[in-house]
Chain A
Amino acid sequence: SDDYNYAIYHTLNEINSFIDMLVQENPGFVSKIVIGKSYEGRPLNVLKFSTGANRPGLWIDTGIHSREWVTQASGTWFAKKIVTDYGRDTELTSILKNYDIFLEIVTNPDGFQFTHTSNRMWRKTRKPNSGSSCIGVDPNRNWDAGFGGPGASSSPCSETYRGPYAHSESEVKAIVDFVKSHGRIKAFVSIHSYSQMLLYPYGYTSTPCKDNAELHEVAGKAITALKSLYNTQYSYGSIITTIYQASGGTIDWTYNQGIKYSFTFELRDTGRYGFILPASQILPTAQETWLALMAIMKHANNNPY
Chain B
Amino acid sequence: KETFEGQQVLRITAVNEAQINLLKELSANEDLGLDFWMEPVDESLPVDVRVPFHSLQAVRAFLGYHEIHYEIMIQDLQDLLDEEQREMMKLKAQPRS
A pairs with B: yes
Binding site for B on A (CB under 8 A): 3, 5, 7-9, 117-121, 155, 157-160, 194-195, 243-244, 271-276, 278-279
Q: Which A residues lie within 8 Å of B41 (CB)?
A: 243-244
Contact partner, B74, options A117, A195, A276, Cβ 8 Å? A276
B73 near A272 (CB under 8 angstroms)? yes
B87 near A276 (CB under 8 angstroms)? no
Given A117-B1, A271-B73, the answer on whether A276 and B84 have CB atoms closer than 8 Å is: yes
Q: Which B residues lie within 8 Å of A275 (CB)?
A: 37
A65 to B21, CA, bound (A): 26
A119 near B39 (CB under 8 angstroms)? no
A160 to B9, CA, bound (A): 19
A163 to B9, CA, bound (A): 27
Q: Which A residues lie within 8 Å of B2 (CB)?
A: 118-121
Q: Mark B1-12, 1 if CB is under 8 A from A, else 0.
A: 110100001010
B88 near A274 (CB under 8 angstroms)? no
A272 to B81, CA, bound (A): 14
Q: Which A residues lie within 8 Å of B91 (CB)?
A: 5, 7-8, 279
Q: How far is the CB of B18 from chain A (nearest CB, A)?
A: 18
A276 to B82, CA, bound (A): 11
For A2, the closest partner residue in chain B by CB is B96
Given A159-B35, A195-B38, A274-B9, the answer on whether A279 and B30 have CB atoms closer than 8 Å is: no
Binding site for A on B (CB under 8 A): 1-2, 4, 9, 11, 30, 35-39, 41-42, 45-46, 48, 50, 73-74, 77, 80-81, 83-84, 87-88, 91-92, 96
Q: How far is the CB of A117 from chain B (nearest CB, A)?
A: 7
For B45, the closest partner residue in chain A by CB is A243
Q: Which A residues lie within 8 Å of B81 (CB)?
A: 120, 276
Q: Which A residues lie within 8 Å of B35 (CB)?
A: 121, 159
B92 near A119 (CB under 8 angstroms)? no
B30 near A157 (CB under 8 angstroms)? yes
A204 to B7, CA, bound (A): 33
For A7, the closest partner residue in chain B by CB is B91
B92 near A274 (CB under 8 angstroms)? no
B74 near A3 (CB under 8 angstroms)? no
Q: Which B residues lie within 8 Å of A159 (CB)?
A: 35-36
Q: Would you list 25 pairs from A and B whose C-beta atoms are within 8 A, ordered by A residue?
A: A3-B96, A5-B91, A5-B92, A5-B96, A7-B91, A8-B87, A8-B91, A9-B84, A9-B88, A118-B1, A119-B1, A119-B2, A120-B2, A155-B30, A271-B11, A271-B48, A272-B73, A273-B80, A276-B80, A276-B81, A276-B84, A278-B83, A279-B84, A279-B87, A279-B88
A274 near B74 (CB under 8 angstroms)? yes
For B81, the closest partner residue in chain A by CB is A120
Contact partner, B38, options A120, A157, A271, A278, Cβ 8 Å? A271
Q: Which B residues lie within 8 Å of A158 (CB)?
A: 30
Q: Which A residues lie within 8 Å of B30 (CB)?
A: 155, 157-158
B74 near A273 (CB under 8 angstroms)? yes
A195 to B73, CA, bound (A): 14
Q: How far is the CB of A213 from chain B (nearest CB, A)?
A: 23
Q: Which A residues lie within 8 Å of B45 (CB)?
A: 243
